[in-house]
A and B are shown apart, each in its own frame.
Chain A
Amino acid sequence: MSVAAPAGTKIRESLLSRTAATLVMAVCTVYFLTPIWWLFVGASKSSEQFTSTNPLWFADFDLFANIGDLFAYRDGVFLRWMLNSVLYTGGAALIGTVLAAMCGYALAKYRFRGREVIFNVVLSGVLVPATALALPLFLLFSKVDATNTFWSVFLPSLVNPFGVYLARIYATASVPDELLEAARIDGSGEVRTFFKVATRLMFPALVTIFLFHFVAVWNNFLLPLIMLGDERLFPVTLGLYSWNTQVNQIPELRGLVIIGALLSITPLVVAFLFLQRFWRNGLGAGAVK
């Protein structure tokens, strides 16, 4: 992207804008990463050193001892929360992505009666905030005595209308009709064609839908807050929240909250690192052809 710069002023100008641009990026990097750095440093300290030493630099490195304390606390309830979060978010996002992909694919690739109506209703669903549903869901689940269960959080988390919207765009953009025709001529059934051919072409897009869905469930706080009373069913966010509300009564929880926060975000940060390639391509696929 080099601009032809014959004159000396042009070069100086571009050097100036390069420096300014890099400076903006550097300042923003500090802003975005400092809290996470602070969390990592804080998690590595004993509770005395946490308050008495420089918050942004290490003292004695007690990270692993702290993690041990966290895992041992109340019979390892934290590990239980992590596992719950994996099931709630990973499970719901995985199944939800497949369902959304199927529906979006059908909306993109078949003409059938009521297609536009279905699409518009689902699209309106995108504008309905998930939190608005939490209370009525609680009331409905309590009708059938199913609140405070795994399913009361899991089942509603499967539905992601935005995923259907994206899947329709991606299917339109990345699955050519000629290919589907060819598969039909080869005698492949519609369902088989979808799973064998279309999902491969849509794969980067599916990763994107999965990540969006994953983060949406991961961030949905009101639903488990309203639905769950039993600590052993909590996702990690709700668990750490409940500890944080007790910090004033039980000061030792503060350290555990900090280590727990660090551990809870680590898997997703690592996942982002690995899925970055798909993530970008997938989003791009939504925007280009």
Chain B
Amino acid sequence: MTMTQTVSTVDVPEGTGTPHTPGRAVRYGRAVPFFVVPFGLLFILFYLVPIGYAIVQSLYTVERTGTFGPAREVFGGLVQYQRVFEDGPFWTSIGRVLLFGVVQVPVMLGLALLLALLLDSGLVKGRRFFRLAFFVPYAVPGVIAAIMWGFLYSPNLSPLKSITSAVDLLSADFVLWAMANVVTWVYVGYNMLIIYSSLLAIPAEVYEAARLDGAGPVRIAWSIKIPLVMPAIVLTTVFSIIGTLQLLAEPQVFRSFSSAVSSTYTPNLTVYSTSSIPNFNLAAAFSVVLALATFVLSFAVLKFTQRKGAVQ
């Protein structure tokens, strides 16, 4: 049961076409390392080793003999993890990004799906233009987008003066949603394009029967198109969840615009500020817990949608 079956609409059949004879495996044997090793080596060095190293680091703690004695690292077992679990602000920040995700991800993906369906429906002229217009924000890196919107939210600069003078979008009550808007603005077009691409891949004949039966465009969208692009929606959901838990650039930038954003506002900000104390062991433990939470959550979404898919 791999993710392939869930997120791709193509099946990757076992040993696609290559006849399975032992002789062949030997014949191409030397080519395989040539193709796999360069990536594999970098993957081990810059993915697997750091993950392992973070886990090791998180098991150590810094000890001092006396107040001014030299610091040395000693094995501390799960001491750092105990600190992580007792760290109130960290769990508040986890709750904050979860709240963010519960609201922002459905809004963003709902909008992306709606726009993709409209582009695909043939109801609108100028599809190329709209597709590009919606996609352009994706070219803006998170940091730059946050800087731009930060100015747009600032009461004295904004073209939205009628709004920004009535409510302070950078106050503690609103700033989380102000950031949600930045993320939505950047990523709707990207998600739309992924969904739209898989809509384009549906052969037209699929709709013919439904149309002959008198199904309208809404009904076709709901009963045929959406189920068929479900894998794309699952993929974008998983990526969005990962992105939400990792929220960093936007809050980090907003700290310049709003005093409501603390140095522990999101989990990754906590990692960053803990490592700049510096307390690397504790920061590593935060990192491990966060990565684990992300992994478990995205995996759960995959499994959950897989089961739902099986029922249909």
Give the A-binding residues of B (Cβ under 8 A): 2-4, 8-10, 12-13, 15-18, 20, 24-25, 28-32, 34-36, 38-40, 42-43, 45-51, 53-54, 57, 111, 114-115, 118, 121-125, 128, 130-145, 147-152, 156-159, 185, 188-189, 193-194, 197-198, 200-201, 211, 217, 232, 238, 242, 245-246, 248-249, 252-253, 255-256, 268, 271-272, 275, 280, 283-284, 287-288, 290-291, 294-295, 298-299
A167-205 interface bits toward B, Cβ cutoff 8 Å, 1 = contact, 0 = none: 011001100111000000000011100100000000000
Contact string, A84-116, partner B, CB cutoff 8 A, digits 1/0? 000000000000000110110111111110001
**Apart from A100-B39, A121-B48, A155-B42: 9 A-B pairs, beta carbons within 8 A:** A1-B122, A21-B121, A111-B24, A130-B246, A177-B18, A219-B141, A225-B272, A264-B141, A288-B201
* Cβ-defined contact, A244 with B253, below 8 A: yes
Known: A136-B54, A286-B8. A99 touches B256 (CB 8 A): no
Q: Assess whether A133 is in contact with B141, with CB atoms less than 8 Å apart.
A: no
The count of A-to-B residue pairs whose CB atoms sit within 8 angstroms is 307
Q: Quick check: B118 and A109 within 8 Å, CB to CB?
A: no
Given A103-B39, A108-B16, A125-B43: A221 and B142 interface contact (C-beta under 8 Å): yes
- Assuming A17-B217, A159-B43, A265-B144, is B35 touching A32 (CB within 8 A)? no
Do B280 and A135 touch across chains, with their CB atoms under 8 A apart?
yes
A115 to chain B, nearest CB (A): 9
Taking A22-B123, A38-B152 as contacts, is the C-beta distance between A240 and B136 under 8 angstroms? no
Partner of A247, one of B42, B122, B200, B256: B256
Give me 15 A-to-B residue pairs in the complex whose CB atoms sit less than 8 angstroms apart, sorted by A's number.
Answer: A24-B115, A29-B134, A32-B134, A102-B38, A122-B43, A125-B47, A132-B54, A132-B290, A132-B291, A155-B46, A226-B275, A244-B253, A257-B147, A264-B144, A265-B140
The contact of A283 among B194, B245, B291, B295, by CB within 8 Å, is: B194
Q: How far is the CB of A82 from chain B (nearest CB, A)?
A: 13
Q: Is the CB of A140 within 8 A of B49?
A: yes
- Nearest first, the 4 closest Cβ-Cβ pairs linking A and B are A1-B122, A190-B31, A106-B35, A177-B17
Give B295 Cβ to nearest chain A Cβ, in Å. Answer: 5
Within the complex, the shortest CB–CB distance from A278 to chain B, in Å, comes to: 12
Do B40 and A284 touch (CB < 8 A)?
no
A167 → chain B closest CB, angstroms: 10
Q: Is A67 an interface residue (CB 8 A)?
A: no
Q: How far is the CB of A3 from the nearest CB of chain B, in Å? A: 7
Q: What number of A residues sit within 8 Å (CB to CB) of B?
A: 113
> Which of A33, A131, A164, A289 is most buried by chain B, counting CB atoms within 10 A of its CB?
A131
Q: Does A72 contact B (CB under 8 A)?
A: no
CB of A65 closer than 8 Å to a CB of B: no
A55 and B253 in contact (CB under 8 A), knowing A112-B29, A136-B284, A284-B197? no
Q: Does A28 contact B (CB under 8 A)?
A: yes
- Taking CB atoms, residues of chain A closer than 8 Å to B122 are 1-2
Q: Are B268 and A222 in contact (CB under 8 A)?
A: yes
- Cβ contact within 8 Å between B39 and A25: no
Q: Which residues of A lie under 8 Å from residue B130 when comparing CB positions? A: 25, 28-29
Once the chains are docked, how many angstroms separate the CA of A265 from the CA of B238?
A: 27
Is B8 in contact with A222, judged by CB distance below 8 angstroms? Answer: no
Task: Tell me if A146 counts as interface (CB < 8 A to partner B).
Answer: no
Contact of A169 with B39 in the complex, beta carbons under 8 Å: no
- Set B36, B125, B159: member contacting A118, Cβ < 8 A: B36
Q: How far is the CA of A245 from the CA of B25 in the complex (A)?
A: 58
Q: Which of B36, B50, B201, B272 contacts A222 (CB 8 A)?
A: B272
B280 engages A3 (CB within 8 Å): no
Q: Do the beta carbons of B42 and A191 come within 8 Å of each other?
A: no
Residues of B contacting A284 in the complex (Cβ-Cβ under 8 angstroms) = 197, 200-201
B51 near A133 with CB under 8 A, answer: yes
Q: Is A280's beta carbon under 8 Å from chain B?
A: yes
Evaluate contact between A194 and B15: CB separation under 8 angstroms: no
List B contacts of A3 (CB < 8 A).
211, 217
Contacts of A245 in B (CB 8 A): 255-256
Q: Please determine whether A36 and B31 come into contact, CB atoms closer than 8 angstroms.
A: no
Say if the beta carbon of A269 comes within 8 Å of chain B. Answer: yes
A103 x B35 contact (CB < 8 A):
yes
Given contacts A29-B133, A110-B28, A129-B245, contact A140 B50 (CB under 8 A): yes
- A286–B35 Cα distance when bound, in Å, is 21
> Is A33 within 8 A of B28, CB to CB?
no
* Cα separation A226 to B278 with both chains bound (whole Å): 12
Within the assembled complex, what's the spacing in Å between the Cα atoms of A99 and B41? 11
Docked complex Cα distance between A194 and B158 (Å): 53
B135 to A, closest residue via Cβ: A272
Q: Is A120 an interface residue when CB atoms closer than 8 A count as contact?
A: yes
* A61 CB-CB contact with B under 8 Å: no
A261 within 8 A of B: yes
Residue from A111, A127, A169, A273 within 8 A of B18 (CB atoms) = A111
- B-contacting residues, A244-272, CB 8 Å: 244-245, 247-248, 257-258, 261, 264-265, 268-269, 271-272
Q: In the assembly, what is the distance between CA of A131 and CA of B51, in Å?
A: 11
* Contact between chains at A136 and B287 (CB < 8 Å): yes
- Give min CB distance, A260 to chain B, whole Å: 9
Q: Which of A25, A190, A191 has the most B CB atoms < 10 Å from its CB?
A: A25
Give the Cβ gap from B306 to chain A, nearest Cβ, in Å. Answer: 14
Q: Are B143 and A139 in contact (CB under 8 A)?
A: no
Whole-angstrom CA separation of A277 from B28 in the bound complex: 35
> Given the complex of chains A and B, what is the CA–CA distance between A159 and B310 in angstroms?
34
Q: B38 touches which one: A34, A36, A99, A226 (CB < 8 A)?
A: A99
